[in-house]
């Protein structure tokens, strides 16, 4: 169903009753699905949803720890007085449902091996279709069982609970060292799942599996060089702005954390950017909707996560968590598109903008982002100078204009201009 049949853009002198009549629906229904408190208060240019499936659809995808699809999993959904039992498809997707109102709660259960149900989470439908991604803490790979040894009575042997009698299992993804000898990556070699069979000292069979993660060959050369006072002053001189402006952008974009604890640059993965950078566009949308999607990007709707975010116990985007695991999956599909789909480092410059940042390829850009804060600053200066409007906004401290050029049209939703204005007051002192 096309966007034209699901939405209507209000024109001058339109009324909600006329819109409802022309599209075969009712004013009450339009108010319900659009959360309109007063049917007489619509304005020209406003987007009106015409059908519930336009804004109240909830999709679910099941993935293992490596973000590979989990097919044929039994899922139970409870919502709006209904109860549905569904199976996930080959992409891990469960058939979409449509709730009654934006405030409806959807309870999600997964079937255990013994047939009982485990509640995974509650999500609120909210306004705007969403995809809820459920990530298992385990990864899945195929293996064959081996005969279990028996004791003198013909019963299966029991393993003694002595840790010294169990084989020592080396890490599935050995860490390598770069730069100053500090590990930058705990991802694999990109060669898929691997299996190793061993036997305990009691003669019991043990299978060890390693997960399937892309090798991040771009994580190298970390130097740890910090930005000095002189660096900031030279950068401000090149742009023509105040040092406080540069520090303001860094504060809002990465909270002054250019690298994580493993000395990996701070990133934010954007699935809609990955989708538009693949050839053809949206190539992986169907098979990997968690990684690729041309539509507006979604945010996790987990109610528990929202509470943790408010309490300050969880970063809103979990920058050091699922962004890297999603990048790993995308990198195994299309290296260039995956790197372009991330915002990198202290100033969160999108990989897709590598040319404006002064690089000939996204690969050379990312390698620089993996080296040091100084490289982040150099890229930022080039990026600002390359955009006349952005540079002028930085000079004049026009935060709305700067945010629109730097963060895109959705800057108001995340209050980037307001955050910059407040952060500047601190640094201007």
Domain boundaries, the chain: 3-53, 56-135, 229-428
- Strands 47-49, 7-9: pairing is antiparallel
Contact call for residues 16 and 50 (beta carbons, < 8 A): no
Q: 345: exposed, middle or buried (C-beta count within 10 Å: 0-12, 13-18, 19+)?
A: buried
The torsion of the CA quartet 211, 217, 223, 225, rounded to 10 degrees, works out to -90
Residue 388 to residue 408: CA distance in whole angstroms? 15
CB atoms within 10 A of CB 9: 11
What pLDDT does 178 receive?
Answer: 38
Q: Which residues pair with 302 in a beta bridge?
A: 123
What tokens were used for 151? 């004791």
What pLDDT does 193 receive?
Answer: 58
Which residues of the chain, if any, have pLDDT below 70?
Answer: 1-4, 128-129, 139-143, 159-196, 202, 208-213, 256, 295-322
Sign, CA torsion 393/265/255/314: positive
Q: What does DSSP assign to residue 52?
A: G
What pLDDT does 111 receive?
Answer: 92
What tokens were used for 60? 């679910």
What pLDDT does 409 receive?
Answer: 82
Q: What are phi and psi of 302, to 5 degrees?
A: -65, 120
Residue 227 neighbours by CB under 8 Å, 6+ apart: 346, 373, 374, 376, 377
Q: What are phi and psi of 300, to 5 degrees?
A: -55, 135
Beta-strand runs (E) in 21-129: 47-49, 57-63, 74-79, 82-87, 93-98, 105-111, 117-124
Q: What is the CATH number of domain 3-53?
A: 3.10.350.10
* Helices 362-369, 373-385: inter-axial angle, 10-degree rounding: 130
Residue 207 to residue 209: CA distance in whole angstroms? 7
Exposure letters 285-315 (e unless 16+ CB within 10 A, then b): beebbbbbbeeeebebbbeebbeebeeeebe
pTM for the model stands at 0.68
Element (H, E) at 305: helix 303-310
What tokens were used for 300? 């996790």
Beta-strand runs (E) in 64-186: 74-79, 82-87, 93-98, 105-111, 117-124, 130-135, 176-178, 182-185
Q: What does DSSP assign to residue 361?
A: S
CA 9 to chain centre: 30
Residue 392 to residue 108: CA distance in whole angstroms? 50
What pLDDT does 157 receive?
Answer: 72
Residue 394 to residue 399: CA distance in whole angstroms? 8
Q: Which residues pair with 57 in a beta bridge?
A: 98
CATH architecture, domain 56-135 = Sandwich (2.60)
Place of tokens 């990007």: 297
């Amino acid at each position: 169903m096309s966007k034209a049949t699901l939405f209507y853009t209000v024109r001058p002198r339109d009324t909600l009753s006329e819109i409802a009549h022309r599209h075969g629906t009712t004013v009450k229904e339009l108010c319900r699905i659009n959360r309109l408190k007063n049917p007489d208060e619509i304005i020209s240019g406003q987007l009106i949803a015409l059908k519930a499936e336009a804004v109240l659809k909830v999709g679910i995808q099941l993935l293992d720890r490596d973000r590979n699809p989990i097919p044929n999993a039994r899922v139970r959904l409870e919502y709006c007085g209904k109860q549905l039992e569904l199976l996930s498809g080959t992409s891990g997707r469960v058939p979409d449902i449509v709730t009654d109102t934006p405030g409806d709660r959807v309870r999600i259960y997964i079937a255990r091996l013994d047939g009982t149900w485990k509640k995974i989470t509650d999500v609120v439908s909210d306004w705007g279709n969403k995809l809820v991604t459920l990530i298992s803490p385990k990864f899945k790979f195929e293996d064959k069982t081996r005969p279990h040894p028996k004791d003198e009575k013909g019963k299966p042997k029991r393993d003694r609970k002595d840790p010294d009698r169990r084989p020592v299992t080396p890490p599935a993804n050995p860490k390598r060292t770069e730069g100053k000898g500090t590990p930058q990556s705990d991802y694999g070699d990109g060669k898929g799942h691997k299996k190793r069979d061993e036997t305990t000292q009691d003669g019991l069979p043990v299978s060890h599996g390693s997960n399937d993660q892309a090798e991040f060959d771009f994580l190298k050369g970390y130097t740890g060089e910090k930005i000095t006072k002189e660096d900031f002053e030279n950068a401000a001189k090149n742009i023509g702005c105040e040092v406080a402006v540069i520090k303001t952008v860094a504060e809002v974009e990465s909270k002054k954390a250019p690298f994580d604890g493993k000395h990996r640059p701070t990133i934010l993965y954007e699935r809609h950017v990955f989708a538009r950078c693949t050839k053809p566009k949206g190539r992986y949308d169907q098979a990997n909707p968690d990684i690729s999607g041309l539509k507006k990007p979604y945010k996790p709707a987990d109610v528990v996560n929202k509470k943790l975010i408010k309490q300050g116990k969880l970063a809103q985007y979990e920058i050091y968590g699922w962004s890297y695991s999603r990048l790993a999956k995308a990198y195994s599909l299309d290296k260039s598109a995956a790197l372009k789909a991330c915002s990198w480092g202290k100033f969160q410059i999108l990989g897709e903008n590598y040319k404006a940042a002064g690089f000939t390829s996204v690969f050379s850009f990312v390698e620089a982002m993996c080296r040091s804060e100084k490289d982040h600053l150099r890229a930022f200066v080039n990026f600002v100078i390359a955009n006349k409007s952005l540079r002028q906004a930085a000079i004049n401290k026009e935060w709305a204009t700067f945010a629109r050029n730097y963060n895109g049209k959705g800057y108001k939703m995340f209050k980037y201009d307001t955050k910059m204005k407040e952060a500047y007051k601190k640094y201007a002192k």
